Structure 1
Amino acid sequence: MTTSRPAGAQARGAQLKSVSLRQQAREALRTRIVLGQIEPGQVESVINVASELGVSVTPVREAVMDLANLGMVEVIRNRGFRVPVLTDHDLEEIFRVRTMLEVPAMVELAELADRAPVARFRQLAEQITDAAREGGLVSFLDLDRQFHLGLLELLGNRRLVAMVGQLRDQARMEGLQKLADQGELTQSGEEHLAIVDAITAGDGELTAALMRKHLTHSRGIWAGRAEDGA
């Protein structure tokens, strides 16, 4: 007897492997939320999500609790969970705090005497650009996260990394699909290469300008909003 999968499960991705199910469920939900694939304000059933992912309810319920602790979802007792509605004001707050944290951090990285560890991030930046060119949004998001948090980790400040990671998770990138469909995501991907080159060259002023422009997308085209001068 063949068990049919729920509608939409195929479109949202393959079933999960039987390894670290809680973590896999958390990452799958994180990606859906950030890409806007889960309608904000709509109550989602843990049972339905578990069925879509091909796992039991327990790892999904645990993943939802993890995401609730990060402020990404709200748990609705005996019903499931929902993704909070994100306003333009919310996006502006996230953008401003990220700018306050990440721009000075990247300038500090550019001004360090030993910038050798930064060089290995060029390959990661190239992979981001490749993912953007191919329209691989899941890969793009994963590599982008590795890139930015990885650079911050070089400064040895765990709290900084955790704070920026949480801010990234609370944002939305609903505009990525449109950019990918129009072939315009590659330009965003290439910005990572310029940032690496500026840091490696020790140019703090250029690094700050590039990073600030890059972060502007988080409240603009990546979020499906217009940007100043667009």
Structure 2
Amino acid sequence: MHEPAHARVPAQPLIPAQQKVLRHSVRGQVLDALRAALVDGDLAPGEIYSGPALGERFGVSATPVREAMQQLALEGAVECLPNRGFRVLTRTARELAELAEVRALLEVPVMLRLARTVPVSAFESLRPAAAATAGAAAAGDLPRYADADRSFHGQVLALAGNDQLVQVAEELHRRAQWPLPGAARIRRADLIADAAEHSALLEALIARDLPVVESLVREHFAGNPA
């Protein structure tokens, strides 16, 4: 019988044994670790993973792993297989292209409105968020870059004052970050180039250069490695 794959999941304990952590906190940390493993390819598309096996690898019980996996199922990352575990869903190039199109339809008009209406000081305050993406890219840390990338986009969109917009955009962004099956690991140089687009976007927003803002956002979605 084929055993669920789990060899590529990081083996270090996620929660030190002596640490007293509330159940929801453990689940949240497991969820973060699983999301990072998805982005990094440690949870491979098409593979099946069992709750107990993952719990052993992370140093926690199977319960928070199952709860975190159920959240990932709601996000469309995995499917639940009764009495077997969870299968990581396989992405297609078409799905990623569709996500890029939807993100552009959602965010381009918002970015253009922000460029016309938001004070320059608000954009200036986002330079640390752009710098965080550059730092993660320079380190070649893909999971950290994915988090910083979502944070930057979320902080820009938050200037619109629409919480629902930010939540929907973040979900679409997260889905776009899951790799295609068999895809080569994203190169550090590509991450650095992608991060540079964040700084360029801020400069265009500050300058209220609408054509450049639109061009940068569309190109960023079309070629975004994370």
Pairwise TM-score range, normalised by the shorter structure: 0.7 to 0.9
Secondary structure at the residue paired with 2:219?
helix
Deviations 1:163-212 (A, max 9, x none): 111112222246683412xx342111111100111112222221111111
- In the alignment, residue 16 of structure 1 is paired with which amino acid? L
> What runs of 5+ residues in structure 2 fail to find an aligned partner?
1-5
Aligned length in residues? 211
CA distance in 1, matches of 2:95, 2:190: 25
Q: How does 1:93-172 map to 2 (within 5 A)?
A: 93-171=98-176, 172=178
* More off after superposition, 12-21 vs 130-139: 12-21
Q: What is residue 15 of structure 1 aligned with on the other side?
A: 13
Displacement of 1:34: 2.5
- In the alignment, residue 177 of structure 1 is paired with which amino acid? R
Displacement of 1:89: 1.4
Pick the aligned partner of 2:203 from 184, 197, 202: 197
- Indicate yes or no: 2:223 matched with 1:213: no
How high is the TM-score relative to the length of structure 2? Answer: 0.85
CA distance in 2, matches of 1:43, 1:194: 41
How high is the TM-score relative to the length of structure 1? Answer: 0.83
CA distance in 2, matches of 1:93, 1:7: 32
Secondary structure at the residue paired with 1:55?
coil
Q: What is residue 3 of structure 2 aligned with on the other side?
A: none
Pick the aligned partner of 1:177 from 156, 178, 185: 185
Q: Percent identity?
A: 36
> What runs of 5+ residues in structure 1 fail to find an aligned partner?
1-5, 224-230
For the aligned residues, what is the CA RMSD?
Answer: 2.1
Deviations 1:91-135 (A, max 9, x none): 111111011111111111111142422212112211211221121
CA distance in 2, matches of 1:119, 1:109: 13
Note if contact 1:137-1:177 (Cα within 8 Å) is conserved in structure 2. no
Secondary structure at the residue paired with 1:68?
helix
Alpha carbons of 1:40 and 1:173: their partners in 2 closer, same or farther (altered >3 Å)? Answer: closer
Note if contact 1:129-1:186 (Cα within 8 Å) is conserved in structure 2. yes
Q: What is residue 63 of structure 1 aligned with on the other side?
A: 68
Structure 1 runs of 4+ off > 3 angstroms?
6-9, 173-178
Deviations 1:28-52 (A, max 9, x none): 1112223332121221111111111
